[in-house]
Structure 1
Amino acid sequence: MSHTLEWKARLYLFEEGGTTKARAVVDTGITVLTGHGTARRNPADPDVPEIGDELAAGRALQDLGRQLVDIAERDVEGTGTTRPGPRPAVGWSM
């Protein structure tokens, strides 16, 4: 059972006054999910916009990743699959 899919992803960054906000959007062809992230520069820190971009983008992508894992877990539970004991931290096994 092999298949190939293409999901479209976009990352938007907005910076104003020491705060960077990021929005990560993935379109699976079935649903569109949006993750959000923010980074704030301490006024005592040097102004290096790339750091704010990286932090905000990383946080938005983490938010998006959590949403995808939550959806996958609900889908697995919807199949009636039972899993004994605690969930594994990584992998497909649930």
Structure 2
Amino acid sequence: MTHTQDWKVRLHLFEDGGTTKARAVLDIGDTAITGQGVARRNPHDRDIPEIGDELAAGRAMNDLARKLLSVAQSDIEGISHPGP
């Protein structure tokens, strides 16, 4: 049996001075999983916003991936060890 789904991730970037924050949101049906990421520019470095965006976004997506894997692990454990 073939199973196909289309999941979408929304990525929000916020910059304030030398700090870039990112939030990645994955909607799975009626559940949303959110990952967070932050990048801080060293005051002595050149101001290149794209690098902060890339770092913060990558960290947010990495956080999201870890959380999604944790959800999957919990689901596996629920199937492997059903409650009473």
Asked whether the 8 Å contact 1:25–1:33 carries over to 2, the reply is yes
Asked whether the 8 Å contact 1:7–1:29 carries over to 2, the reply is no
Deviation string, structure 1 residues 15-71 (Cα, Å, up to 9, x no partner): 011000000001011311111000000001110100000000000000100000000
Query: Which of the pair has the greater relative contact order for Cα pairs under 8 Å at 6+ separation?
Result: 2
Alignment partner, residue 12 of structure 2: 12
**Normalised by the size of structure 1, how large is the TM-score?**
0.82
Q: Distance in 2 between matches of 1:80 and 1:8?
A: 29
- Higher-helix-fraction structure: 2
- Higher-strand-fraction structure: 2
Q: Which runs of 4+ in 1 moved over 2 A?
A: none
Percent of residue pairs identical? 64
**Normalised by the size of structure 2, how large is the TM-score?**
0.91
* Secondary structure of the structure 2 residue equivalent to 1:43: coil
Gaps of 5+ in 1: 82-94
C-alpha RMSD of matched pairs (Å): 1.1
Q: How many residues align?
A: 81
Gaps of 5+ in 2: none
Q: Distance in 2 between matches of 1:9 and 1:80?
A: 29
